[in-house]
């Protein structure tokens, strides 16, 4: 049997999503309850490439088990959900967890 890395079971999609939303709220001034995973980083939230790196760094400080995201990859991500999905894919979390994150975000914003 192949042992799973400890980080995989320690970091949930919900934890990544909630942390991301809290930091985006803190960095942008938008209330958490209005943030959604489908929001465009630039057009909806005014988050430029420098702010993206700052936000991701803050998320990684709160959840050190998260993988590094190369700047080129980060630049291609257009929404908060794409960043969360990318981080989870590197941790090996399945798609059903991502669907749960979308549902949780919808419930939080409702």
Is residue 11 assigned to a domain? Answer: yes
What range does the domain containing 89 cover?
6-109
Check which CATH number belongs to the domain holding 29 and give it.
1.10.1200.10
Is residue 1 assigned to a domain? Answer: no
Is residue 96 assigned to a domain? Answer: yes
Provide the number of structural domains found in the chain.
1
**What is the rounded CA–CA span in Å between residue 100 and residue 27?**
25
pLDDT in tens, the chain (110 residues): 555 444 444 678 899 999 999 999 999 999 999 999 999 999 999 999 999 999 999 999 999 988 888 888 889 999 999 999 998 888 764 444 444 445 444 444 44
Q: What is the pLDDT of residue 35?
A: 95
Is residue 57 assigned to a domain? Answer: yes
Among left, alpha and beta (phi > 0; psi -120 to 50; other), residue 46 is: left
Is residue 72 assigned to a domain? Answer: yes
């Amino acid at each position: 049997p192949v042992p799973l890395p400890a980080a995989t079971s320690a970091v949930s999609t919900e934890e990544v999503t909630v942390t991301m939303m809290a930091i985006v709220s803190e960095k942008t001034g938008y209330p958490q309850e209005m943030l959604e995973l489908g929001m465009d980083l630039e057009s909806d939230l005014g988050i430029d490439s420098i702010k993206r790196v700052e936000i991701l760094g803050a998320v990684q400080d709160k959840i050190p088990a998260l993988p590094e995201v190369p700047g080129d990859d980060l630049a291609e991500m257009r929404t908060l959900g794409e960043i969360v999905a990318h981080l989870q894919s590197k941790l090996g979390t399945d798609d059903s967890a991502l669907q749960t994150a979308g549902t949780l975000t919808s419930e939080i914003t409702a």
